[in-house]
Amino acid sequence: MVDLAPFQSPRPSEYAPIPKPLTSRALRGREIPPGPRSPLLTLRFQKDTPSFLCKTRDQFGDCASFFLGGELFITAFAPEMVHEVTVSKQHQFIKGVGFDRMRKVLGTGLLTNEEPIHLRHRRLMQSPFHISKISEYATIMLNLTQKHISRWRNQEVIALGPEMMSLTFDIVADILFGADISGETDTVQRAMHVAIDRIERTMLPGLERFDNLPIPYFRKFGSAANELHEVATRIVTERVKNNIKRDDLLGILLEATTPDGERLSPREVSDETLTLILSGHETTANVLTWTFAYLSQHPDYWEKLADEAESIFSKQHDENFARELLAAPIAGSIFNEVLRLCPPVWIAPRRALDDVTLGNVEIVKGSHVLISQFVTHRDPRYFQNPDEFIPERWVDGFEKSLPRGAYFPFGAGTRKCLGDQFALLEGRIIILEIARRMRLSLVSDFPKAEPRATYRPKGRVPMKVTLI
């Protein structure tokens, strides 16, 4: 049997069947939540989805309904509902609209997988992300950060977005895969840009039917997906070919077995490699770019960060170095606030497998259900002045005071990002190391958002470097 690249691969048969879509005709006689109804609704949704969802919440409350592509969508923005979708009733949902299309790029990796495959992969991949293992990564992260930013010159204007992409890519490549694949950065970035651009258009159901049309726009989607697949396959193949044994994630994946002795196939390892390359650097790079944009607008935090950096980095060779970084109050508060305002994964579509109750609302089987970090994180019931950058809100145990589901930048439940501690450690190191060596200032307006598959800043975000 030919091992097809993700773009041509069918949906795995182990997944639960996708319920039939719910049209207005199929819903006759069924009560659904109120919501916006307009012939131009699809255009409004596509033009600025985060704003559309926030306005819908403001007008109709936490749970509203609307139709896109003729199919029913229901919002679930209340923390209680978020917790039910992601934790207590998560098995009554599957990944929603867009994920089958994303699977064409990433294959059956953790981000796109459904049960029972997802849980099997997650168990095999947990050990390299345990806090004890992550602690070993701190010095490597710091050294790579120092090497990267040492190239920046005083009064130079850098393109911060691409710089953060390159830095986080090198960190992921070195630590997780034990290989210097920095030469692949341009290839990955170029292909990823095309793929994500096409994936972005997946909030409307039915668009996947056009992916195989013989026109340049869609041909580029398939070519980009296959190019990314080739990069990941090459990384895995070279490791196996050279019989390299290393206790990193790739080494663990190649050697790991389930309790019944089953191993991941080379294709599964390749898919997980690609998933981690993309999700492990692009999301963190976006958050870091937003972070320095906010710091440029709030320069009073720079000195506080520099002082914190000097205190923590003096303990670089202590066994608790990583834990000190993860507990850093100033860098942590700033990073938490940026994750609140600009969550890298800002929306999480789901599909109801059964009739299910969320809060006190009956959700019909087959409904598209939207939870959104962006919307819930800006709820004034839980975050005073929700649109303002206020890192101080995170002191004195604020996060613990929030209801479950009010703050979930990395998701929740068994779907929570496996690499959250890795990203938090990496983010703190980069923020603190830059703060103790230089200042970055925007040379143009604060970046606008470009909410695609991730919540990214638009453009290259030019910033001036001032060494100290």
Six-digit token pair at 324? 């000190």
pLDDT at position 465, please? 98
> In terms of C-beta density within 10 A (0-12 exposed, 13-18 middle, 19 or more buried), how is residue 387 classed?
exposed
Reduce the DSSP state of residue 205 to 3 states and report it.
coil
Query: Rounded CA gap, 384 and 157, in Å?
Result: 35
Find the helix packing angle between 266-297 and 160-177, rounded to 10°. Answer: 140
Query: CA 14 → CA 8, 58, 85, 366, distances in Å?
Result: 17, 40, 21, 19
Cα first-last separation, the chain: 60
Q: List the domain boundaries for the chain.
A: 6-467
Mean pLDDT of the chain: 91
pLDDT at position 203, please? 61
Its sign, for the CA torsion 10, 14, 20, 22, is negative
Its sign, for the CA torsion 17, 90, 343, 309, is negative
Homologous superfamily assigned to 6-467:
Cytochrome P450 (1.10.630.10)
Q: Could you give the angle at the alpha carbon of 432 between the alpha carbons of 426 and 435, nearest 5°?
A: 140
Residue ranges of the chain whose pLDDT lies below 50: 1-2
Long-range contacts at 89-93 (CB < 8 A, ≥ 24 apart): 89/356, 89/358, 90/413, 90/414, 90/415, 91/115, 91/353, 92/352, 92/353, 92/354, 92/356, 93/350, 93/351, 93/352, 93/353, 93/356, 93/369
pTM of the model: 0.93
Query: CA 55 → CA 35, 49, 78, 243, distances in Å?
Result: 11, 10, 15, 56
Its sign, for the CA torsion 48, 53, 54, 58, is positive
Q: What is the pLDDT of residues 68-105, one digit of tens each?
A: 989 999 999 999 999 999 999 999 999 998 888 888 88
Distance of CA 240 to the CA centre of its chain: 29
Six-digit token pair at 268? 């599964």
